[in-house]
Amino acid sequence: MSEARILLVDDEQSIIDLLKIVLTKEGFRHIYTALDGQTAINIGKRFHPHLIILDVMLPDMEGFDVCREFRKFTDVPILFLTAKNTDLDKLVGFSMGADDYITKPFNPLEVAARVKAQLRRIHRIHLPEQKERKVYDYGHFRLDLDSGQLMVDGQEVPCPAMEFKLLAYLCAHPNQIFSKQQLYEQVWGEESLGDDNTVMVHIRRIREKIEPNPSRPQYLVTVRGLGYKMVVDRGKIK
């Protein structure tokens, strides 16, 4: 993990310095910094960080727009760090491709813990059942755990880390119903505090990728009042 490259993007130098000190103490040696959006994008294209911590309020452009630009060339975890803490702000952040949302003021040790958790997830996907299965092939879409690829109609579709892990978890537990709370605790690895938005946004984004008609899902379906399940005809799984 110490070899991971981390990009810190914030217009407050004091926050950059604080996070850099904490992450360095946690063993991270390759930390890049940017005080504005365009510089961050340039650094991202040049050094290909493994994780990005991104402020929403930047002097030249909104962090949401920066995130959208990042998603054009990378699927690494993006953690928003911002004073904007409304549900709408969080939904916008997740819809732009963010993997986590941390509000200011923050505990820098908590940020370091979330960074390490995200990096562990992209290097090792824990599927407690059916460990022998490496590929889930549903015909219309195919999820390859070894290569980290999502193929839809034969074309690779970019899939951010947490979407990939959530989809993999559901594929590993076919035809089982999970509540939003259960999915959050199993996939994100943290206790759910009643905020269902994170799971809901990720479910919607997955449907947009794998469903022929996302408004009428046939694979990742909602079971009213109970949660979600991956509907699978076992005879068709390869």
- DSSP letter, residue 28: -
**pLDDT tens per residue across span 168-186:** 999 988 899 999 888 988 8
Question: Is pLDDT above 80 for 24?
Answer: yes
Q: Between 67 and 124, name the one with better pLDDT.
A: 67
Average pLDDT over all residues of the chain: 84
Name, in order, each residue with C-beta under 8 angstroms of 10's C-beta and a sequence gap of 6 or more: 16, 19, 35, 53, 55, 58, 81
Q: Between 213 and 101, name the one with better pLDDT.
A: 213
Question: Is pLDDT above 60 for 110?
Answer: yes
- Sorted by where each starts, the structural domains of the chain and their CATH numbers stand as 5-123 (3.40.50.2300), 135-236 (1.10.10.10)
Contact 117, 161 (CB under 8 A): no
Q: Is the dihedral of CA 86, 187, 138, 68 positive or negative?
A: positive
Confidence class of residue 189 from pLDDT cuts 50, 70 and 90?
confident
Give the tokens for residue 137: 């092939």
Question: Is pLDDT above 50 for 63?
Answer: yes
The Cα–Cα gap between 171 and 159 comes to 15
Nearest to 158 by CA among 208, 88, 106: 208
Instruction: Output the pTM of the full model.
Output: 0.55
- What SS3 state is found at 90? helix
Give the tokens for residue 153: 């109609």
